[in-house]
Structure 1
Amino acid sequence: MTLTWEALQRRAKKADTAGVIALLVRASEEERVALAKDVEAGVRAEATQWWRHDLNPMPGYALAVIGCMPTAARAAALLLRTSMQTWTGIGPERFLELARFRRLPWLGELGTRLATRLPTRDADEDLWPMIAALLREGRAEPPVRENVARAWLANLLTRPHHWDRRLPPLSMRLRDDPHRDTLLPALFEFDGLAADLAAGSWDDTAKEWTATPRLPAVLAHLIGEGTLERKTYLDLTVDRLLRGGKPHDLRPFVLLHDLLEPTLDELSSHALDYARLLPDAPGTVAALAQKALRTVDDAGRLELETLLDTSGPTLVRKEKTLVKSQLTWLDKVSRRHPDRAGEVLETVAAAFGHPALDVQDRALTLIGKQTGKLDADTVARLADASAVLAGDLPRRAAELFGTMAEAPAEVPELPPAAPPAELPAPIATPGELAEELVALCHEETAIAWERVLAGLVSLYATDGPAALATALRPVLERYSSDFEEHSWNHSAALTHLGVAIRSALGTAKHGSQWQRLVAAVRRAWQDGRRGGEDSPLVATPDGVLGLRVAEVASQLTSTMVPMVVATPTHVTGSLDPAVLLERLRRAEAEGWQPWPVDFEQALLRLPREPDPAVVEQAATLTSPAGRQFAAWLAGGGLPDPISRRWEQRPLNDYYYSGAGVARRVVTILGPARDGGLRLERQLLTTTPGPEPRGWPDDFVLCGDVLAMTLPHHREAIASWVLPELAALADQDQRRGAEVLPLLAACSGPVGPALAYGIAYTLGARHPESRVAAVDAFLTLAARPEPFAAAVGAALGDVCADGMVKLSRLTPALAEAHLAGASLAVWEVLAAALPALLPTAQRGLPDLLELSTQVAGAVHARTEIAGLAEVAARTGSTRLVKEAKRLHSVLHP
């Protein structure tokens, strides 16, 4: 019987691996090698379609490969094909059985080639046993690479495979592993393997998965019994800690170091390494280094210079426990070396720069106990160093060092906010419009939307449909899923834009989608309402953009309007009245009227206080739009809507127990007048229900579109987005805070919606949300409009019952203080503390500490209701200590 690929393939597809082996064994070596090309062609042709069969043919194909290929290179090329990844189901024994029968000399090379091509990140748990078997059979060592070490480690730690269920314990497997001495050191040398080492593993004893890294205990055991060299692995551990990384990634190396319990001699030999770790390493590693160095120092084997050099930067670390321990250690050393006490205490003075007042206090107290033993020059240097002390400590330092208290420094102020940037130049050519359309498909931004709308209308008027068709048709075809209507996007602005473009090109007018848009625009204009069941328009403020795009689609080819008039002049969405005046003058001169929705959006973007000269010139306009523009400016524009605080609580505790929102503060918004523009009522009306919504996310992708709709009435937009901002804190949502800096850059009074929005976001769960809140806070602080007291009152409200955590809030306010917004931060704290002091919320001492620092910086003398009562309490709790400290600063 002649050996053929068809015969091998038939048995492989039936998962008849015994039949495949039988065919290969019966054939001669010449027949097997002669079939190699057919096997290559067959595997390449059929391998990608194995899922069409009930049985997996890949193990049979792999046997054909090892049974026929003449070289390791050709065998590896086939086995490494993506579609062949399930070939390892054959298992090592049957694979090697056929290889041994052929007496192949290149099995070690095949194992090396397969190992080199192992996945970089996700280890293939099934492939490594095959590779290990090939390396062992060929007496070859694995290449020392990160991907190889990762696969070896994953196979070592994973649950036993289906073909080898009774594996010995991990310690025995590692002791007997032939590649241990080659690959085990690589676990310390490749930093990318840290996360793999820190991950959980299969516990052989408990027969379950454990989250605790198990390898450190196994390594310590093998080192203890002498299988692994102790010095080598202690050195590797310390070296790995020195290279640093995330605390979680370094955890297995910290565990191993602790399990090894280094002797005094070993600690002494690495003293300089520990000295490098103490100032900069993650907290757990720094604590390890501190403990090691103290042991060496207690034995008299640590150079004082080493201690002093490493202590300075250590004393400003954020971990107060570590810093206080360092201070205690230095105090002990100063008494042990009285001749060098001055040097030691000058090092202690580095803690004056620590952000925590209790650390500064402790350092000052330690120095104060020995001031009388120091020479005058040292005392003078310590007095100079005390200039950075905060709170009530500068006064104590002046008394201690015999200096006069310095005159209060000027209160830091933020520079005035820069004016908003201007909108980029308009789109000038159809090709540029096509490029901007592609960018819009990848990321919808308000600026891009404004430029695309303005460019489409103006280029249709100047260049005509033919030029637009040449540039835009390829974009419509490439991004058809964005521009064509589907069940999931019938109200999307991009879908409406597709209709508008096809209308401009003459391919969509009078189609069903175009007709629905025309009808929706007509209804919205007639009754001032958008949205509703099956409507292509939405009722929320971001829906104004969709309405404007729909208006372009319905009007572009039927009216001779050469431009949109609502295009803003600044990135905030603000429109310069002088620019709108010129646009309306052009309309009068050319005999056309702006589209109605476009014109109303333009009016809503005008600033509150236009240039009087523009108001005077607007009165000369004669067209209907011109007269309305003049009346709008003369009447003061859009009146501020009425915004009222509204508290929500779940009516059904069981239903909302999963959401975890016991109380949420939002706002009710309503227009200040009847009538007005057709867009007004929906834009200025929010009617929240009695219960908080779980995980609201209506506006997380369109914050800039919202802000641009009403750039001078940010309180209205804040009312719409407030539930999402609240959910950043009370439901730990991640997205939505991006709108806050945009609203801060806009204008208008700060009402309860924006105040509560900032309060919630300052206490958000995720750091990036708090960064956005601090950015918004700094922008508002650089402007003249008052806002801080309202934010403080809101913080006191939402933090009093723990709905917003003070532990998140305090660092955010501290950042604003350090950035120069100290006056505004103090207003916030002064307004929030009266509501918080009676609650004794967790984190209140930290907030009081920050209050002391800020009060000292701004020379505050504010009376805080309830502070004196807390400060007068007996006891030594930190709350009482910080209250006393703040009270002493406010009442020197």
Structure 2
Amino acid sequence: MTLDWETVDRRARSGDQPGVARLFLEATEAERLAFTKQFEAGLRAVDPDVYWRARVDPAPGYAIAVIGAAPSAARAATLLLKRGIRDSWQQIQFDRVLQVAEARELDWLGDLGLRLAARLPTRDVWDGGDWAFTARFLRAGGTPPPVTEGVVRGWLARLIRPRRERVPPLSIRMREDPDLDVLLPGVFEIDGMGSDIFNATWGEDSALPKSAIRFHQAVAALVAEGRLERKAILTATIDRLARGDKPNALRPFVLLHDELDPAVDEIAAHALDYARLLAEGPGAVATVAQRCLRVLDDTGRLDADTLLETSFPVLLRKEKTLVKAQITWLEKVARREPERADEVFGTVSAAFGHPALDIQERAFTLVAKHLPGLAPDTVARLAEASVVLAGDLPARAAALFGTTVLTETVPELPPHTGPAPMPPPITTAAELAEEIAVLVHEESGVRWERVLAAFVALHADGGRGSLTAALSPLLDRYPGDLGEHPWNEGEALACLGAAITMAIDPARQDGVHRRLHETVRIARQEGRRGENGSRLSPLPDGVLALRVAEIAVHLNGSMMPMLVATPTHVSGSLDAAVLLDRLSRAEAEGWQPWPFDLEQALLRLPRGPVSADVTTGVAALASPAGRQFAQWLASGGLPDPISERVVQQGKLGYLGAYDWDRPVARRMLARLRPARDGGLRLERQLLTLAPPDELKYMPDDLEGAEEVVAMVLPHHREVAAAWALPEMAALADQDQQGSARLLPLLAEGTGPIGPALSAAMAYAFCAKQESDRVAAVDAFLTLTAGTEPFAGRVGEALGDLCSDSTAKLGRALPALTDAHRSGASAAVWELLAAALPPLLPTKVRGVPDLLELATQVAVTLGARTEIPGLADIAARPGASRLVQEAKRLQSTLAP
């Protein structure tokens, strides 16, 4: 018979895989090869959507046809890897593939398997189905599998995530696997393989056996029965631990090591490896190494020099349990070998430099206990090492060694120079086009202000021709951003696209322009953005979009030569003298600024009185804008709104958890309301905020607009903080990231620090991501350089949030420590003094560490502040760390 594309395609689309195979089984080899070009052309012409639109997936039938028509392994691999066909590998009836291959007497199936193996994925490998398909070609061709990452990941996934519900135990499946000896070593050698084992049961159907969780047991069982060589597996395990990896990727190998339970001789063979793991390995790995080395030491087979040399870095590790065990071990060695006590306690003194006071105290107490038996030169070295002790320990060391207590120098914060001035203006159409292109990819408040100022100025200068040449390509290049669509209605970029269109084609009056005209009219007449005819955001970032819409609507009508709201500083602040110059020019040239441009300018003026020259100049203005400016200054500007704390309560779902199974029991937000009636059109909506009763899951309304929001009201930072507070809270209670970049911007501004900004700082200190905590520290340092006290309010918010674990206290400790070491010790102490009282009665993890930090800060400052509730904790019986740290702080604060 003669093969033709229509017949093959019809049978493939009907899901008739045996029928497709039969076509090639009944054909001659010459007919199959003659059909190759027609088949490839037909396959290329298939609409990719057919693979998911069709009632039956035709791809498995096409794959069988590939084996029946391909002249070589290279051509077959190219076709099988085609999108659509590759997605169906697991649905292909491989016995049909083998029938066709045997009929053709193909000798390149192994080569085909190698080519497919080279393209196996190395990420998101779930059940190893691609590997199973590839492996059948390798086995059919008698070709061993290559030990590549894609192959090993696929092989392992197939083993630990069986697709059938009833399967033999993993140890049996591994024993019977023909590729075990070739591919198992790759599990130990390729980085990240342990993560596949550790996460194997994620999302796994409960009906399936949890075999992945027993990987270490299966390997150990094969070792015990002799199927795998014990020495090779133990060496591979230790080598894997020594090379390091992410903690979850190392965990299966830690469990395997424990399962193998190496004997003393085996430990001795790897003594240097264990020593390095103890010093450098992750916590769980170091614990294993410490345990093995102690076994070796107990049998007298560990060299003392190796122990002492290894102990130096161990005594500075952050894992305090590990450090305490090492100190105890060293004391035991000193008792056992008194002739080496001087070396041992010289080594113990390395712990004097540990960041934790309780570790320092343990080492110091041990040294003090054995000091009488040590040589004078050793005592001198220990006295010298004690200079790094912190908290109350320097005084105790001075009394022990007869030295002088060194007074700790309080670091000073560098003076804050204030926000930087705005960059130079854009002066050419070409430069404007470049900035707009960047703006499309990365919006920022400063870039927006420069673009808007240049756009208006260049258009007013009669540069329509240059603007057309420079900006027209942008509309074609970024139609999804600069054009209006359902997904970006009312966004600033879409309004900018409309403004560009009006600048280069003034005769055009399309629906976008009409909608923007209506939006601007509503904002002017009703003082409203959003809902009922307005597509602009009612949030603070909607002010920018309104200003851009105003430009688009009025650009060709009033021919403004410049904007008056362009700030003079990157914080958004506008000098009153500069605004006076701009309005004086407007009056002299006979033009009036656009309404919302003028309102934004007024909202950006600094607080407080202006100079006499500005007062005199403003009084001389006679235009409507000038009179409004004068009235604004006379009334004292925008009065601070009333900001009040609001607590949202989480709502339990049907699964018994909060909000999409994220445990958010409550969230601290703020309510805003204006302090006066009337005012500017922009004023009431900006200063009115009433959070809903139910908290929002993963809020992101202001994502990426932080700088824009900060620049709307640069001298009323509490307002911006209140609007952004849901996202700031989500940094800590839902582990989002990025929103804390707003805080340093607000710190550069001015205005009272109320409940919103205080809570925002507290949440950011407890953020999951380090970058957000760093932003909180930067803001804290900037605020500390100001004159307004604020840290106590942040401490109250922090104590409240952490007292019931709404936020995690442990996350805040490194950030507060950084702030202390950077010179903000006084502010950190004010924060701690306010945060500790609500935390002391609780059992929140991290309170002892907070007390320890408080002791360090108190010693630095010589603080004597009384902490409510501290004496009660210090008076408790027992030797818990909470009680010990409370006693230490209480002693430090005593007059």
Determine if the TM-score, normalized by the shorter chain, exceeds 0.5.
Answer: yes
Equivalent residue number for residue 28 of structure 2: 28
Instruction: Kindly provide the CA deviation profile for residues 56-85 of structure 1, in whole angstroms up to 9, marking residues without a partner as x.
Output: 333333333222333222222222222321
Distance 1:284 1:8, change over 3 A: same
Distance 1:782 1:76, change over 3 A: same
Equivalent residue number for residue 41 of structure 1: 41
Aligned equivalents of 2:331 and 2:73: distance in 1? 68
Equivalent residue number for residue 393 of structure 1: 393
Aligned equivalents of 1:26 and 1:529: distance in 2? 76
Equivalent residue number for residue 604 of structure 2: 605
Equivalent residue number for residue 74 of structure 1: 75
Query: How much has 1:364 moved relative to structure 2?
Result: 0.7
Task: Give the alignment partner of residue 870 of structure 1, picking from 865, 869, 873.
Answer: 873
Instruction: Kindly provide the CA deviation profile for residues 318-354 of structure 1, in whole angstroms up to 9, marking residues without a partner as x.
Output: 1111111111111111222222212211211111122
Equivalent residue number for residue 703 of structure 1: 706
Equivalent residue number for residue 264 of structure 1: 264
Task: Give the alignment partner of residue 96 of structure 1, picking from 95, 98, 117.
Answer: 98
Distance 1:153 1:653, change over 3 A: closer
Q: Which runs of 4+ in 1 moved over 6 A?
A: 202-206, 651-657
8 A Cα contact 1:445 1:705, kept in partner: yes
8 A Cα contact 1:789 1:828, kept in partner: yes
Equivalent residue number for residue 586 of structure 1: 585
Equivalent residue number for residue 824 of structure 1: 827
Equivalent residue number for residue 306 of structure 1: 306
Instruction: Kindly provide the CA deviation profile for residues 826-854 of structure 1, in whole angstroms up to 9, marking residues without a partner as x.
Output: 11111222333344544322221211111
Distance 1:26 1:713, change over 3 A: closer
Distance 1:803 1:125, change over 3 A: closer
8 A Cα contact 2:580 2:618, kept in partner: no
- Structure-1-length-normalised TM-score: 0.93
8 A Cα contact 2:161 2:212, kept in partner: no
Instruction: Kindly provide the CA deviation profile for residues 763-796 of structure 1, in whole angstroms up to 9, marking residues without a partner as x.
Output: 3355443333222212212333321122223333
Task: Give the alignment partner of residue 741 of structure 2, picking from 734, 738, 741.
Answer: 738
Query: How much has 1:147 moved relative to structure 2?
Result: 1.1
Aligned equivalents of 2:206 and 2:476: distance in 1? 59
Equivalent residue number for residue 110 of structure 1: 112
Counterpart residue type for residue 56 of structure 1:
D
8 A Cα contact 1:460 1:468, kept in partner: yes
What is the count of residue pairs matched by the alignment?
888
Secondary structure of 2:614 counterpart: helix
Aligned equivalents of 1:778 and 1:203: distance in 2? 44
Distance 1:648 1:334, change over 3 A: same
Query: How much has 1:115 moved relative to structure 2?
Result: 1.2
Distance 1:175 1:477, change over 3 A: same
Structure 1 position 804 matched with structure 2 position 803: no
Identity %: 55
Query: How much has 1:44 moved relative to structure 2?
Result: 2.9
8 A Cα contact 1:608 1:636, kept in partner: no
Secondary structure of 1:669 counterpart: strand
8 A Cα contact 2:519 2:533, kept in partner: no
8 A Cα contact 1:13 1:53, kept in partner: yes
Distance 1:858 1:210, change over 3 A: farther
Counterparts of 1:607-622 in structure 2 under 5 Å?
A: 607-608=606-607, 612=611, 614-615=613-614, 618-619=617-618, 621-622=620-621
Counterparts of 1:509-548 in structure 2 under 5 Å?
A: 510-548=509-547
Instruction: Kindly provide the CA deviation profile for residues 574-595 of structure 1, in whole angstroms up to 9, marking residues without a partner as x.
Output: 1233433433343344332222
Aligned equivalents of 2:668 and 2:828: distance in 1? 22
8 A Cα contact 1:411 1:858, kept in partner: yes
Counterpart residue type for residue 328 of structure 2:
T
Structure 1 position 60 matched with structure 2 position 61: yes
Q: CA RMSD in A?
A: 2.9
Structure 1 position 235 matched with structure 2 position 238: no
Secondary structure of 2:642 counterpart: strand
Structure 1 position 566 matched with structure 2 position 565: yes
Aligned equivalents of 2:40 and 2:528: distance in 1? 67
Aligned equivalents of 1:104 and 1:352: distance in 2? 73
Aligned equivalents of 2:577 and 2:204: distance in 1? 78
8 A Cα contact 1:508 1:514, kept in partner: no
Q: Which moved more, 1:689-698 or 1:562-571?
A: 689-698
8 A Cα contact 1:574 1:606, kept in partner: yes
Structure 1 position 747 matched with structure 2 position 746: no
Aligned equivalents of 1:160 and 1:211: distance in 2? 12
8 A Cα contact 1:639 1:672, kept in partner: no
Query: How much has 1:151 moved relative to structure 2?
Result: 1.7
Secondary structure of 1:422 counterpart: coil
Equivalent residue number for residue 130 of structure 1: 133
Equivalent residue number for residue 887 of structure 1: 890
Secondary structure of 2:391 counterpart: coil
Instruction: Kindly provide the CA deviation profile for residues 807-830 of structure 1, in whole angstroms up to 9, marking residues without a partner as x.
Output: 333333223223332221111111
8 A Cα contact 2:197 2:213, kept in partner: yes
Counterparts of 1:133-212 in structure 2 under 5 Å?
A: 133-160=136-163, 168-200=168-200, 208-210=208-210
8 A Cα contact 2:648 2:667, kept in partner: yes
Instruction: Kindly provide the CA deviation profile for residues 366-406 of structure 1, in whole angstroms up to 9, marking residues without a partner as x.
Output: 11111011122211211121112122111111122222323
Distance 1:253 1:134, change over 3 A: same
Aligned equivalents of 1:129 and 1:258: distance in 2? 31
8 A Cα contact 2:192 2:246, kept in partner: no
Distance 1:145 1:613, change over 3 A: farther
Instruction: Kindly provide the CA deviation profile for residues 638-674 of structure 1, in whole angstroms up to 9, marking residues without a partner as x.
Output: 2541434334355988899734665544334344444
8 A Cα contact 1:169 1:204, kept in partner: no
Structure 1 position 860 matched with structure 2 position 863: yes
8 A Cα contact 1:548 1:597, kept in partner: yes
Equivalent residue number for residue 476 of structure 1: 475
Aligned equivalents of 2:16 and 2:393: distance in 1? 84
Counterparts of 1:786-805 in structure 2 under 5 Å?
A: 786-805=789-808
Distance 1:214 1:429, change over 3 A: farther
Aligned equivalents of 1:133 and 1:233: distance in 2? 28
Counterpart residue type for residue 340 of structure 1:
R
Counterpart residue type for residue 779 of structure 2:
A
8 A Cα contact 2:652 2:658, kept in partner: no
Query: How much has 1:535 moved relative to structure 2?
Result: 1.6
Aligned equivalents of 2:254 and 2:167: distance in 1? 28
Aligned equivalents of 1:308 and 1:600: distance in 2? 71
Query: How much has 1:289 moved relative to structure 2?
Result: 1.0
Equivalent residue number for residue 758 of structure 1: 761
Counterpart residue type for residue 825 of structure 1:
V
Aligned equivalents of 1:126 and 1:751: distance in 2? 57
Q: Which moved more, 1:623-632 or 1:116-125?
A: 623-632
Structure 1 position 372 matched with structure 2 position 365: no
Aligned equivalents of 2:205 and 2:5: distance in 1? 48
Distance 1:844 1:167, change over 3 A: closer
Structure 1 position 226 matched with structure 2 position 226: yes
Aligned equivalents of 2:62 and 2:641: distance in 1? 75
Secondary structure of 1:573 counterpart: coil
Instruction: Kindly provide the CA deviation profile for residues 90-119 of structure 1, in whole angstroms up to 9, marking residues without a partner as x.
Output: 333221222223222222212112211222
- Structure-2-length-normalised TM-score: 0.92
Secondary structure of 1:646 counterpart: strand
Aligned equivalents of 2:66 and 2:745: distance in 1? 62
8 A Cα contact 1:584 1:625, kept in partner: no
8 A Cα contact 1:47 1:58, kept in partner: no
Q: Which moved more, 1:653-662 or 1:834-843?
A: 653-662
Counterpart residue type for residue 303 of structure 1:
D
Structure 1 stretches of 5 or more lacking a match? Answer: none
Distance 1:25 1:722, change over 3 A: closer
Q: Which moved more, 1:671-680 or 1:360-369?
A: 671-680
Distance 1:232 1:369, change over 3 A: same
Query: How much has 1:11 moved relative to structure 2?
Result: 3.0
Structure 1 position 454 matched with structure 2 position 456: no
Distance 1:595 1:875, change over 3 A: same
Secondary structure of 1:208 counterpart: coil
Structure 1 position 316 matched with structure 2 position 319: no
